[in-house]
Chains A and B, each alone.
Chain A
Amino acid sequence: MLSRREFLKRSSLIATAPLIPGFIERTARAAEPGKDPILVVLEMTGGNDGLNTVIPYRDDAYHSLRPTLRFQGNQVVKVNDELGLHPIMQQLGQLLQQSKLAIVQGVGYPNPDRSHFESMDRWQAAEVTAKVSGTGWLAKSVPDLGKGKGGGVPVMHIGSEKLPLACRGTSQGVFTINQEQPFELKLGLPGSEEEATRKRLLADVAATGSDDKTDALLPFVQRRYLQTYTSVEKLKTILKDMTKEQARTGFGPGSLYAKFDLIGRLIEQGFGTRVFYTAIDGFDTHGNQAQTHQNLLQQIDQAVGYLFQRLQRTGDDARTLVMTFSEFGRRVAENGSKGTDHGSGSCMFVVGPGVKAGPVGHHPSLTDLTDGDLKHHTDFRRVYATLLENWLKVDSKMVLGEKFETMNFIKKA
C-alpha cells in the first residue's frame, strides 16, 4: 500500500494540476494529512424505531404494546439481561463483544416535534427551537476541524441527495461525493490534446473570478467551482478501485456498503477529512414494518462491520468512530397496520475502538410515557458535545451555543 506521502506525490492533482489555480495547489501541497480522529455520522432517515433496534426483551410492556412486531429473548443479540439488539445485527453484536459499541439510550430533546423535517432540522442544526438557523452543527465545527493538518476538506458528504443541513451554512470545507455520479470532468478523450486545451481554458477563466470573500451568490458559485476542480483529480484513483471491490462483492454503487467502502478508502488514503456524513433512508415505517426495518438494519450492520474490518488492516480503526442518529423514534405502541407512527426519544450507536462499550444510561420506561411516547433523559446535544470535546477536539460551545455536560462513553486517550 502507498504511504500517504507517496499517495500525495502521485496524485494527479499535484502531478498535472492544469485545472487548479495556484493558491489551491499550494494549499494541497502543504497538506500533510495527519492522524487526527475521525467521525462518521450516519443519518437514519425517516424516524428509526429505536424500540426494535435496542430491545428491552424482558419488559412485559414491550410484548403487550408490540403484539405483532416484538422479538423474544431467544431471538435478540444479547447486550445484557435486559437488552438485546435486533436479531439481524450480528456484526454489531461482535463489535460489542470486542468492546467497540456504545449504546446511548433515551436520547431526545425538550418538546419534541413529530414532523420529519422540523425534527430532522433540529438534530442537524443542533438547535431545539422551532425555527432553526440555516447552519448545521458540522458546518459550525468547520473552523476548528480545519485547524489540523487536513487537506482543506474537513467535512465530506457522501451521497447523491442534497447536502444535508448538518453540513450546510459554511462557504468552505464541505464537499459532496458519490459514486453513482462519475466524479470526473468529461472534456473529450482522456489524455487527449483537446481535453488538455479545454481544461486550460476553464482554469484560465476560473482564475479571473473575483476574490470576493462575501456571502453573496456569485462568489459562492466561484468557490464551489474551485472545490469541485480540486477534488476531481484526487478522487479519480479511489473511485476506480471501488468499482473493482463492487464487482467482487456485488453491492451496488448506491448501497450503504459502497458508501462506507468509499469512506474507508478516504480514511486510509489520509485524505485529511475529519467528518464524513452519509444517510440511509426508509425508516418511516407506518405499515408492515418488520421486513423493511430488518433490511435497513442489516445494511447498517454490514456497512459498519465492514468499515471496521477494513480499517483494522491499517490501524486507522483506532482513530475512527461511527455515530448513528435518527430524527425521532416511534410510538411505543404499534399501530393497526403492523407499523409504528412518529414518536420521540430513541437510541444512538457510537462505534469504534475508542468507545467505552455497552449501554449508556438506562432504557426509558415503557409504562411512564408522554402522549404514548418514551420520555427521553439525555439531550442529544450532550452526545454531540461529548464527541466534539472528547473526540474531535472541537470547542463544543462554539458549535452548540452553550456548554453541555459531556458523557462518559469515550475512552481517555
Chain B
Amino acid sequence: MSKDALPPLDKLDPAAEWAPWRPTKDQLWDAKWAAHLYRRAGFGPTKDELRTAVADGVEATVNRLFAPPKEARERPQVITGPPGVNPMTGMPDASRQGAILQAAWLQRCIDGVEPLREKMALFWHNHFATSIKKVNDGSLMEQQGELLFKHALGSFRQMLKEISRDPAMLVWLDSNQNVKSHPNENYAREVMELFSLGVGNYTEKDVKEAARAFTGWHTSGGRFSMVHGLHDSDPKTVLGKTGNWGGDDVLQILLEQPACAKFICRKLYHFLVNENLAPPDTFLGPLADAFRKSDYDITVPVRTILRSKHFYSAYAYREKVKWPIEYAVGVVRMIGVGVTGRITVNPYSLLGVMELMGQQLYAPPNVKGWEAGRAWLNTATVLARHNFAHSLVNGMGDLNEHAKKFNLQTFFPAVNPLAFVLKQGITDPAKIVDLYADLLLPGDFRSDVRSKLIAHIGDASPDTEVFAQRCRDALFVLLTVPEYQLN
C-alpha cells in the first residue's frame, strides 16, 4: 500500500484498528512482520529468534514476549560503593559508574532474555528521564533503573508512587530544596507536565499547590526521607480538589484525571507504533479506556497495540527512525558474531559509538528525555552510524580499543559475520547477499541495490581475502541503506 494513500487517523474506526490482527493470504505472518514485531517489542531478532517466531505465529510470539522467563534470572547489582573521584577536580565523578551501568544494560538487551520488558524499561527511562550527570551517583541510578524494570510491564500507579520517592529522581529535581518556607516547584511541575497529564491539563496554580504537598519529600544518605518539620500540612487545592494533601494524595488526584491514561497511551503510540502522526483522542480511546479501567496495568495497552491490526499495517511499518540503542544492539544481535556464530561484541565497545549517535543511557539530555524521531539523524549522527557499521563488519578492532580503556577485559574476539556463511560452503554472491538481506531487511530489499551488491562481489575467487572483503563491503552497505535506519 502506498503511504500517501493512507487515510488520516480520524477517518479510521478505532475499534477495528485495535482489534487483534489475523494474518490473511494477502498479508502473511512472515519474516517481514516478525522482524517488525521484534524491532518494536525488543531490539531486533537474532537469526534463530526470527525463524522461531515465523514458525510459531503471531499469537504465540506476542504471548512469549509477555511471558516471564522460564528460569528466574538474577540481575546482579553492578554498582557497589560511592562514585570515584575526578583527579582533575578532586570532586566525586560517577562517569565510570555510568559506563558500567550502560554496559550492563546493553548486555541485557543483547542477550534478549526479556526483550519487551527491557524495551519498556527504556520507554520509562525516557519518560521519567533522569541523568547521572546531575545525580552523580551510580548506585542511585541503578536503583532507579531496577525500579523502572520491575514495573515496566506492571502497574503505572505503583511506578508513579515509587518514582516520586526514588532518591535519584528526588536529587534530579531538587526535592531537598522543596520546603514549606520556600516551595521548589520542580517535581510538582514535571510530574504533571511530563509524567502524567501533559501541558494544558493543569494550571500554574495547580503546580504551586502541588509543590506544597511534596514539601519535605527529601533524600538523605541515598534514601527517601519524609521530613515532617518541613512539610506544609495546610490545605491545598489541586485540580479542583481541596484538602490537606500530601504527595500521595496529589498522585491519586493526577491518576483520577482522564487526561492521564490518554497522555501515557499517546506516548506509547509514538514509541511503539508511529512517531510522525498525532493520533486524536478518539483514536486512542479504546487504549486509554482499557488502561484506566485496569487501574493502570501497563500490559493492557501494550498488548493491545502489539496484537493489533493497526500495528501490522503501513501506519506502523518502518514509521520510526531507529534509536541509537536500537541500531547498535540490533546490528550486534544479528551479525555481531565471531567464528563460532555466537555474539562476541563486548558492550563496552558500544559506549563511544552510542554517544556519537546521540544517546547515552542513564544520561538523557534533560527531563523531557530524548527528542527522538527525525532529530536522531543529523549529518554528524548519520556519519557515526556509517562508521559504526563499517567497524563492525570489519572486525570491531577500533571499537574494542575504546572498550579496553575500562581495563575490564583485555581480549576481545574479533567479529566475523562472514564466518557462518562461509562455513556452510556458500560461495554464490547472490546467495550470500540474500542470506544477509533476509536477516537484516526482510521485505525491504530493493532489487537495484541487490544487483549492485552482487555485482560488487563479482567473480572474486571464494577462498581469497578479496572475496571476503567484498562480502563485508556488501554487508556494510546493507547496514547503511536508508531503509535500515528506519525501525
Q: Specify which chain A residues have a CB less than 8 angstroms from the CB of B32 in the assembled complex.
A: none
- With an 8 Å Cβ cutoff, the count of chain B residues facing the other chain is 57
Cβ-defined contact, A186 with B375, below 8 A: no
**Whole-angstrom CA separation of A197 from B467 in the bound complex:** 14
Q: Specify which chain A residues have a CB less than 8 angstroms from the CB of B481 in the assembled complex.
A: 205
Neighbour of B378 across the interface among A163, A201, A218, CB < 8 A: A163
A216-B3 contact in complex given A186-B387, A337-B177, C-beta closer than 8 Å: yes
**Whole-angstrom CA separation of A188 from B375 in the bound complex:** 28
A114-B204 contact in complex given A187-B390, A218-B318, C-beta closer than 8 Å: yes
**Interchain Cβ contacts within 8 Å, total number:** 126
Neighbour of B469 across the interface among A177, A194, A335, CB < 8 A: A194
Cβ-defined contact, B199 with A118, below 8 A: yes
8 closest A-B pairs (Cβ-Cβ)? A176-B378, A221-B482, A228-B382, A228-B379, A162-B371, A162-B375, A208-B448, A181-B380
23 A/B residue pairs, CB under 8 Å, sorted by A: A117-B193, A117-B368, A118-B199, A130-B199, A160-B380, A162-B365, A162-B370, A177-B380, A185-B383, A186-B391, A198-B476, A202-B480, A205-B477, A205-B481, A217-B319, A217-B374, A218-B318, A218-B486, A220-B377, A221-B321, A221-B482, A224-B382, A231-B379
Whether B96 sits at the interface, judged by CB under 8 Å, is: no
**Whole-angstrom CA separation of A15 from B477 in the bound complex:** 24
User: Chain B: which residue is nearest A231 at the CB level?
Assistant: B379
A175 to chain B, nearest CB (A): 5
Whether A110 sits at the interface, judged by CB under 8 Å, is: no
Neighbour of A224 across the interface among B174, B186, B379, B469, CB < 8 A: B379
**Whole-angstrom CA separation of A176 from B193 in the bound complex:** 30
B192 to chain A, nearest CB (A): 10
Central interface residue in B374, B381, B477, by most chain A CB within 10 Å: B374
Whether B276 sits at the interface, judged by CB under 8 Å, is: yes
User: Chain A: which residue is nearest B356 at the CB level?
Assistant: A181
A130-B200, A185-B390, A205-B481 given; 4 more Cβ-contact pairs under 8 Å = A205-B449, A216-B3, A228-B382, A337-B177
A277 to chain B, nearest CB (A): 12
Whether A324 sits at the interface, judged by CB under 8 Å, is: no
Whether B289 sits at the interface, judged by CB under 8 Å, is: no
- With an 8 Å Cβ cutoff, the count of chain A residues facing the other chain is 52
Whether A377 sits at the interface, judged by CB under 8 Å, is: no
Whether A67 sits at the interface, judged by CB under 8 Å, is: no
A115-B382 contact in complex given A162-B365, A205-B477, A286-B177, C-beta closer than 8 Å: no
Interface residues as binary, B350-382 with A (CB distance below 8 Å gives 1, 0 otherwise): 000000101000000110101100111111111
Q: Specify which chain B residues have a CB less than 8 angstroms from the CB of A81 in the assembled complex.
A: none
Q: Specify which chain B residues have a CB less than 8 angstroms from the CB of A335 in the assembled complex.
A: 182
A184-B383 contact in complex given A157-B378, A201-B456, C-beta closer than 8 Å: yes
**Whole-angstrom CA separation of A341 from B456 in the bound complex:** 61
B129 to chain A, nearest CB (A): 11
Taking Cβ atoms with an 8 Å cutoff, the residues of B that contact A are 3-4, 174, 177, 181-182, 184-186, 189, 193, 199-200, 204, 276, 318-321, 356, 358, 365-366, 368, 370-371, 374-384, 386-387, 390-391, 398, 446, 448-449, 452, 456, 469, 473, 476-477, 480-483, 485-486
Q: Specify which chain A residues have a CB less than 8 angstroms from the CB of B193 in the assembled complex.
A: 115, 117-118
Q: Specify which chain B residues have a CB less than 8 angstroms from the CB of A115 in the assembled complex.
A: 189, 193, 199
A398 to chain B, nearest CB (A): 23
Neighbour of B390 across the interface among A157, A163, A186, CB < 8 A: A186
**Whole-angstrom CA separation of A78 from B284 in the bound complex:** 58
Neighbour of B482 across the interface among A168, A184, A194, A225, CB < 8 A: A225
**Whole-angstrom CA separation of A162 from B456 in the bound complex:** 36
**Whole-angstrom CA separation of A170 from B64 in the bound complex:** 42
**Whole-angstrom CA separation of A193 from B207 in the bound complex:** 63
A178-B182 contact in complex given A205-B477, A216-B3, C-beta closer than 8 Å: no
A28 to chain B, nearest CB (A): 15
**Whole-angstrom CA separation of A118 from B379 in the bound complex:** 27
B361 to chain A, nearest CB (A): 16
B311 to chain A, nearest CB (A): 17
User: Chain B: which residue is nearest A204 at the CB level?
Assistant: B452
User: Chain B: which residue is nearest A197 at the CB level?
Assistant: B473
User: Chain A: which residue is nearest B483 at the CB level?
Assistant: A218
**Whole-angstrom CA separation of A181 from B199 in the bound complex:** 35
Q: Specify which chain B residues have a CB less than 8 angstroms from the CB of A217 in the assembled complex.
A: 276, 318-321, 374, 486
